[in-house]
Amino acid sequence: MKVLVINAGSSSVKYYLYEMPRAEVLANGVVERIGQEGSNLLHYVGGETHSEEIRVEGVGEAMELILATLAKKDVGVVEDISEIVAVGHRVVHGGDEFTGSVVVDERVIASIEKFADLAPLHNPPNLAGIQAVQRKVPGVRQIACFDTAFHSTIPEVAYMYALPYELYEKYGIRRYGFHGISHRYVARRAAAMLGKGKYEIDAITCHLGNGCSVTAVKRGKSVDTSMGFTPLEGVPMGTRCGDLDPAILFYLGDKGYDVETLNRICNKESGLLGLSGVSNDVRNLAKIAREDDARAKLAVDVFCYRIKKYIGAYTAVLDTVDALVFTGGIGENALHLREQICSGLTQIGVQVDRDANSGAIAEEAEISTKNSRVKVLVIPTNEQAAIANDTYELAGDRLPAGSK
């Protein structure tokens, strides 16, 4: 059974074609710089790269290009796109309506549209990908996998803000959490690595990339997470500020800053970039910091300090912690930052083996010492595989006999 996984953003669409259930990647790629000069397709198949510069104006056009490429004579892997039995889509915001991945129908489409106000950079392109497949392959089964779904188990005491209750009732203002597909995947892998069932593990999972979030997982379920009503809350990120005193925005508003400017500052000009003034990339900042750039060092130190604070807070929430997990581009590769984050956490049972940490680059590994009460793990996230599995399970039950 061939399953196509789509991750559509405002300026790019990533795709993976799997042969299920053996989870073999037949081809993958990305359409980049959508709606911009120099838009292009990168298509990977059989160890080779096919590159094509082509003007792509929107997600719909990108989807048509992807489907055509997958069936193209020289670089394709199917004779006809009808061989693709199901398509799984990453959808960022499902509000509080979805507790797991679902088969796409008109009700689901309406919900994705409704929550577009809460994720304006993500839900509209996610929906555009779904609608493009509907037009091009109208009979194919589609599955929506929500980043918010894993966090649907967060209790009321953790998801409510101390605002007038009617704002929650009228506008749904509450903590939703994001990166759920990633947090769920690494929590399941951590359980397997420790020889536990998926609902037997208590863990703190740190998804650290250009976007960052920390989640408390109790008995395999999310019970708290650092991102909130939007992906802006939580730890500092590449360009996002994370937690701050909301009165700062009121103060700046009185100084003449309008809402659009404040939104841009918080989402695109803050975080590592805002503190350092030079880069949102921790690789660059680590190098510059070693050259005695005080602001670059400050940016890295603030980043690590805030993550450490969340780890401490979630240790209190969980009471017992089996594992601390690092994932995402930073979590999987930035060994010096992992060591800095974990330093001083011996009182909660975290001890890192420096040699093991140095050898753990973008691969599953245990980097804690033998005496560490909490196992410290590096687990590369694989959101596309998680989406492929959900899509196979949901679509497989609804297919005619013999179609797998």
Domain extent listing, the chain:
2-146, 197-383
Do the first three CATH levels of 2-146 and 197-383 match, i.e. the same topology?
yes
Which tokens is 192 given? 């397997």
So what's the pLDDT on residue 401?
A: 35
Residue identified by tokens 């033998």 is: 370
pLDDT at 117: 85
Q: Tell me how far apart the alpha carbons of residues 351 and 364 are, in angstroms, rounded to a whole number.
A: 18
DSSP state of 108: H
pLDDT of residue 398: 52
DSSP 366: E
Superfamily covering domain 2-146? ATPase, nucleotide binding domain (3.30.420.40)
Cβ atoms of 235 and 306 within 8 Å: the answer is yes
Write down the pLDDT at residue 118. Answer: 84
CA-wise closest residue to 163 among 80, 105, 246, 241:
246
What per-residue confidence (pLDDT) applies to 397?
58
25: phi then psi, degrees, rounded to nearest 5: -80, 115
Unique residue bearing structure tokens 């680590």: 286
CA distance 57 to 37: 10
CA distance 52 to 30: 11
> Tens place of pLDDT for every residue, the chain, 404 residues?
999 999 998 889 999 999 999 999 999 999 999 998 889 999 999 999 999 999 999 999 999 999 999 999 999 999 999 999 999 999 999 999 999 999 999 999 999 999 998 888 889 999 999 999 999 999 899 999 999 999 999 999 999 999 999 999 999 999 999 999 999 999 999 999 999 999 999 999 999 998 999 999 999 999 999 999 999 999 999 999 999 999 999 999 999 999 999 999 999 999 999 999 999 999 999 999 989 999 999 999 999 999 999 999 999 999 999 999 999 999 999 999 999 999 999 999 999 999 999 999 999 999 999 999 999 999 999 999 999 999 999 997 554 433 33
Residue given tokens 């069932």 in the structure block: 197
Please state the CATH superfamily assignment of the domain spanning residues 197-383 in this structure. ATPase, nucleotide binding domain (3.30.420.40)
- Active-site hit among 74, 105, 147, 202: 147
The pLDDT value recorded for residue 404 is 34
End-to-end CA distance of the chain: 5
304-322 burial string, b = 16+ CB within 10 Å, else e? bebbbebbeebbeebeebb
**Residue 94's pLDDT is what?**
93
Single pTM value for the model:
0.92
Sign of CA dihedral 339, 330, 392, 43: negative
Q: Is residue 147 annotated as part of the catalytic site, yes or no?
A: yes
